Structure 1
């Protein structure tokens, strides 16, 4: 088949022909046709990598996404030769490779199709720019749904959409903007209650079509590089999510303060203004852990410097803030001002660390400082140098770094021209291949520097642009959004999508970066952000001088905002536990409702509901003046958080939405740990942990993880994992606890609050010993009891 390029020249599309020979080397299989070689790598019983050498020569097997800890661990695999196919069978799937054209069909062990090639792999020469355009097309199965691809600002289900990955400074993006800031070439398919994932590990501009061009065909392709993709079988969507993070890696635990509330603006300056903001938080007793300094803290926007007039004594300022419980996060962009008297620029040029055009000239472009040069973060020597630059900032008291403008963004050009050259860890490539990993590697280098110089404290990094696998070292936010109700909805969708694309540590600019929200919009955004792992207000400067702090909208809104920020701090042990699950097992912190109830087709096209952690379901108030909202609940029983009304799942629940409430539901049987309200994390040592227990008659497991929250002793066993199991009946409440770990918690007892107990207690036993019924206190519709933290069993009988 022939296609016409924009230059008017023709390029033949090439397809594999008949397999001439094959061989097996360990867990690798190779199939040879006239031009093409297919490599099949069995990574596990459910993970298989397919890699094609289009013209008989494989490129370097190298990835910026794949975790160094990924190990091949298949339980068993065997190959069969049939008349028309080869079959590689593992303990979970069958992979069929057609002899006449290398087309792939993957089934479960019973023979049900999971994923099937249409044309499969094919390619053509990229006549205009060199290299090859590599394609893969698949048959869409009956009623198949698609999810993933990172921060795409559209409905969660991607069926009927075409999407592109090419990191872009998408200022003021909308629900139709594509591409955006991040580049995550990973998606899910779901049909017949079977889920799979495909991770296309290619850093060139990649495109994905989920039935837009042809409604029965999905496809993905790249304008360069290799066809190299990982197939992941579930069959549950959450199984796929965990397996994807096995491939691309899980994060370390963040400092606990990073899960607190963050306040940011472009820009807080001078130092007296920063002090005023800090003092106002403490005066109004609105919890806050982090304050950000945008580009105006620098000397002429020169990275790694301080403006001596605006911030004459930065170390003293940051020390004072720290003494009052605030951690300071500063912005660092990749653009280095062209200034012969600026030491960072001098080092960049002297050491040949700057990106260059094809003819050897420096890559120069205008950003905030004016004319800038740019480090080549694909060079390991540059990454090492860049990480060393953070020593001075950490020494000043900086606790976190915010990498911005790193798509990379350049004012007059949008981004780098494609002829810019990059080291690419020794490969020497054009910007076409390096573009999608530029910000990714900048943030990796930043994280390396912070970890080195902040030790033993854990680092905090936030980046605007990245590639798959960035969750190993950074958080993200959704970019330069707008103060609108549409963008509140987008914030929810994007953070859900990022979570199931491996990057749970994400949030949006609360209230919108561009424009001015109403008090109602800001309040509703705060409510949603309580359940986003990154909770940060951020806004741009504007002509009216409007400030976007929690008290900016009047006393009535301030009271509600304060209430919900306090709820965030109360829920920190629950959210920190969810982060531990993410860090150890790859479980997304936010889980779209389809991911927890995929067997229920009613969930497949819904995007308003999601689970935060194991047991809390959230559906934000998404429209101005909304007085009630319909929420779809998964199967089981659910308590409405604000009044304990019980709702049965697999159905719509309609709840009122006054300004001081939002739809929050808790799973029956759950145990939700809570801290007392504090103004910042670790403000004081807690003496009693609150456990909210929601009566349920189905066996329900809950977990509490705890450690010191801000150093690495947890890696040496200084942590606790506390497992709870509730399996009650209409006549008996039963809660069991099991403990493991070696961390000395500050508290000595639990206060257990039981919601929904359907009877009046006549007997209470703790670890088999009957206790005085006066130990049980009735408060409205809940019962409570204080117990020693060493308890193992509580039984309350009717």
Structure 2
């Protein structure tokens, strides 16, 4: 079979036999007699890098994706020279490199196969551009599943799919359409209930094929650059995702307000319209924290300017909005209008900061302002300049967030929708063409924006959102999934995209609620808001060209549903903030697909709809019109129906009936869910009281609550509170033990505790081993209020 495949790929070249090797510290180089070098680097016992070159030497080792602040280290690295292969052993796996053709196999220490090369590394000379098209093929096993690769608009399990990675402005994209806005060349393989990961760190146009072209083969290749990939051993999917997230980096903690609801449209102007929208939110008491200004706030779409006809005094407007609890977020695109009277253009021209074609002239393209030049964000000097441009917007006018759009980069009126491939880039001193820089252009723009917003927002935390991204962009920015459509199919797509992005290291992501293109029905908007409040980034956004898309545009019933679910999100802010803390510190995704939650259950491997929000809330959206409920799958464990408090056992499919103002929501047995009182915006209540909803369980369960000052950097000095609550349920009693880390003290007057699912009548309460009266804790219907913090709460009954 292999011989036939080789004959079918007559243009492909392969490594020949290995003639020598060299071992230095954590790396082993293998040399073949046809000039191929394979470098195997053990970063951790479960994280191994494979780097190939076919030219006899390696180019400068540089990556925008890898987080250089992460430390690596391994326990074991042994190399053995066997008769027909070399073996590299760590404390988790061993790697076999065949001497006759450099093919690689990776095995568990007991000999169980994890991943084996089919053809392995091969390449094809690219005579059109120079360099090689680099290729890798692996054996794909029967029943193996594949997940990840960012915001692909296709089935969650990628088995049988082929996808393309080339950041593209894909307005009104369709299901299965390729490529899209983001490039995350990382996937998780799952076979025999064991998971591994592959991160192909190559910024050229690349492809992944999961047994689409050839059954039993998974392959990935790129139009240039190196065959450079990282293998991550699980065996749990959670281990793979966490290791990848550490490798490519985690964001800093965002300000709490960014987890509130946000409203956007193309476009809200003039100032009177902006204030009309924000006023309506307050009038209807639908909580909202941010209002967005799209391109029309600018003077002729020139970045870093204001249209004074629409916004005569932006500083005053931003201040007025802030007094009413609204943060202002503005859009900034990469295209700089060619206009010799325009100060940003003049500065960039004088400093020679624009991208150039291969033969010298500045690259010119049409976007919203007309003809534009484009800064080369791969140049550190340009990023520093760009960061400085945010001084007026952020430090003087008071804008709280910046939204980077069109940064694939998008160019109008050309078939490719982007820069010519011959455009030159600095690439941090590793000069290259746009073929290599295209996929990271948006990330480097977002990075420069982040550095500017952070500089001028200090001592507050920055907020940046981007449309285009490459692996590692999560260190600088949140994201959204681009220009979707107001259809039921796109509601299904959005749900999958959020789960996929979450296990692809980019947790802080959302979709345009209601759809960007076209107009949703009232029912579709309601169902989308019911899902969107359980996504990390929560924003309604529309093109505005087909009608209004504010919550009140759809009638009284949808107003009430929107209010109900947005209020629920605001109540769950401490739970969501805790999810974010665990993501930032431990690399744990905020949304967990069912297969991530329980990979041993084969039923989860092809589930697309249900997901775990945080650790203990199971969400299943309604994705079809006229639904009065739906069939869904409950994973392992026992779960409380959030609306009825009915306890249901898991690992089965069931029908869940819901009203129009509900979706299936379940709480894990034993969970302690923290809630704040409803606020119209974060900070409206200076010290919101904490409520703990306790779901009874016979046995033990841990829950967590993270809190700090909600903005600023004091948490880096230990001024935070991270509480671990351990619930121990017995036949007629419940113990809740609390352990706290950090020095932050919240000024609660009371902590409210609401017990759910108890199978006994409460007859006594002890706080820190002292019995208390029901009157002193306002005990009513299994709820009580405690006027001080506690280490142990003991509730017993009969």
- The TM-score range, normalised by the shorter chain, is over 0.9
- Summarize deviations over 1:270-328 as a string: whole Å, max 9, x none: 01111111111111111000000000000000000000111110000000001111000
Partner residue of 2:605?
A: 604
Partner residue of 2:429?
A: 426
> How many angstroms does 1:365 deviate by?
0.9
Corresponding position: 1:300 with 2:303: no
- Summarize deviations over 1:43-77 as a string: whole Å, max 9, x none: 01100000011121111100000001122211222
Partner residue of 1:158?
A: 158
Measured in 2, the distance between the counterparts of 1:140 and 1:568 equals 41
> SS where residue 762 of structure 1 aligns?
strand
Choose the corresponding residue for 2:484, options 481, 485, 509. Answer: 481
> Residues 618-629 of structure 1: matches in 2 within 5 Å?
618-629=619-630
> SS where residue 398 of structure 1 aligns?
coil
> How many angstroms does 1:96 deviate by?
1.1
- Summarize deviations over 1:77-135 as a string: whole Å, max 9, x none: 21122212211111111111111111111111111111111111111111222110001
Partner residue of 1:660?
A: 661
My pick for the range that moved more, 738-747 or 400-409, is 738-747
Partner residue of 2:446?
A: 443
The two structures have a TM-score, normalised by structure 1, of 0.97
Partner residue of 1:148?
A: 148
> How many angstroms does 1:616 deviate by?
0.5
Measured in 1, the distance between the counterparts of 2:224 and 2:318 equals 47
CA contact (8 A) 2:778 2:785 kept: no
- Summarize deviations over 1:504-544 as a string: whole Å, max 9, x none: 000000000011111111011001011101000000121x6
Partner residue of 1:7?
A: none
Corresponding position: 1:525 with 2:528: yes
CA contact (8 A) 1:687 1:748 kept: no
Corresponding position: 1:492 with 2:491: no
Corresponding position: 1:584 with 2:559: no
Measured in 2, the distance between the counterparts of 1:98 and 1:778 equals 71
CA spacing shift, 1:327–1:2, aligned 2, 3 Å? farther
Measured in 2, the distance between the counterparts of 1:2 and 1:391 equals 62
> SS where residue 20 of structure 1 aligns?
strand
Measured in 1, the distance between the counterparts of 2:458 and 2:605 equals 44
Partner residue of 2:362?
A: 362
> Residues 212-361 of structure 1: matches in 2 within 5 Å?
212-361=212-361
CA contact (8 A) 1:161 1:212 kept: yes
Measured in 1, the distance between the counterparts of 2:207 and 2:325 equals 45
> SS where residue 291 of structure 1 aligns?
strand
CA contact (8 A) 2:48 2:230 kept: yes
Partner residue of 1:791?
A: 790
Partner residue of 1:569?
A: 570
> SS where residue 551 of structure 1 aligns?
helix
CA contact (8 A) 1:262 1:289 kept: yes
- Summarize deviations over 1:436-469 as a string: whole Å, max 9, x none: 0010100000000000011001000000001000
Q: CA RMSD in A?
A: 1.5
- Summarize deviations over 1:691-737 as a string: whole Å, max 9, x none: 00101123211100010111011001110110011121222212111
Choose the corresponding residue for 1:503, options 499, 503, 506. Answer: 506
- Give structure 2 stretches of 5+ with no counterpart: none
CA contact (8 A) 1:447 1:460 kept: yes
My pick for the range that moved more, 126-135 or 453-462, is 126-135
Partner residue of 1:79?
A: 79
> How many angstroms does 1:657 deviate by?
2.0
> Residues 180-219 of structure 1: matches in 2 within 5 Å?
180-219=180-219
Corresponding position: 1:703 with 2:714: no
- Summarize deviations over 1:452-494 as a string: whole Å, max 9, x none: 0110010000000010001111001010000010011111000
CA contact (8 A) 1:11 1:127 kept: no
- Summarize deviations over 1:414-437 as a string: whole Å, max 9, x none: 101111111111122111000000
Partner residue of 2:542?
A: 539
Measured in 1, the distance between the counterparts of 2:787 and 2:21 equals 65
> How many angstroms does 1:776 deviate by?
6.8
Corresponding position: 1:739 with 2:740: yes
> SS where residue 704 of structure 2 aligns?
strand
CA spacing shift, 1:89–1:316, aligned 2, 3 Å? same
Measured in 1, the distance between the counterparts of 2:70 and 2:227 equals 20
Measured in 1, the distance between the counterparts of 2:751 and 2:532 equals 28
> How many angstroms does 1:412 deviate by?
1.0
> How many angstroms does 1:2 deviate by?
12
Partner residue of 1:92?
A: 92
> How many angstroms does 1:12 deviate by?
3.2
Measured in 2, the distance between the counterparts of 1:789 and 1:535 equals 34
Corresponding position: 1:469 with 2:472: yes
Measured in 2, the distance between the counterparts of 1:764 and 1:309 equals 65
> How many angstroms does 1:746 deviate by?
2.2
Partner residue of 1:179?
A: 179
> How many angstroms does 1:388 deviate by?
0.6
My pick for the range that moved more, 602-611 or 785-794, is 785-794
Partner residue of 2:768?
A: 767
The two structures have a TM-score, normalised by structure 2, of 0.97
Partner residue of 1:756?
A: 757
CA contact (8 A) 1:777 1:783 kept: no
CA contact (8 A) 2:677 2:688 kept: no
Measured in 1, the distance between the counterparts of 2:688 and 2:312 equals 41
> How many angstroms does 1:687 deviate by?
5.1
Corresponding position: 1:455 with 2:463: no
CA contact (8 A) 1:3 1:11 kept: no
Measured in 1, the distance between the counterparts of 2:260 and 2:474 equals 19
Measured in 1, the distance between the counterparts of 2:774 and 2:269 equals 59
- Give structure 1 stretches of 5+ with no counterpart: 5-9
Partner residue of 1:115?
A: 115
Measured in 1, the distance between the counterparts of 2:641 and 2:215 equals 40
CA contact (8 A) 1:577 1:704 kept: yes
> How many angstroms does 1:785 deviate by?
1.5
> Residues 680-691 of structure 1: matches in 2 within 5 Å?
680-686=681-687, 688-691=689-692
Measured in 2, the distance between the counterparts of 1:3 and 1:235 equals 34
- Summarize deviations over 1:192-234 as a string: whole Å, max 9, x none: 1110000000000010000000120000000000000000011
> SS where residue 383 of structure 1 aligns?
helix
Partner residue of 2:23?
A: 24
CA contact (8 A) 1:776 1:783 kept: no
Which runs of structure 1 show a deviation greater than 3 angstroms over 4 or more consecutive aligned residues? 1-4, 773-779
Measured in 2, the distance between the counterparts of 1:614 and 1:300 equals 47
CA contact (8 A) 1:749 1:787 kept: yes
CA contact (8 A) 1:104 1:117 kept: yes
CA contact (8 A) 1:762 1:773 kept: no
Measured in 2, the distance between the counterparts of 1:556 and 1:99 equals 70
CA spacing shift, 1:789–1:74, aligned 2, 3 Å? farther
Measured in 2, the distance between the counterparts of 1:67 and 1:430 equals 24
> How many angstroms does 1:685 deviate by?
2.0
> SS where residue 411 of structure 1 aligns?
coil
Measured in 1, the distance between the counterparts of 2:10 and 2:445 equals 37
> SS where residue 553 of structure 2 aligns?
coil
> SS where residue 435 of structure 1 aligns?
helix
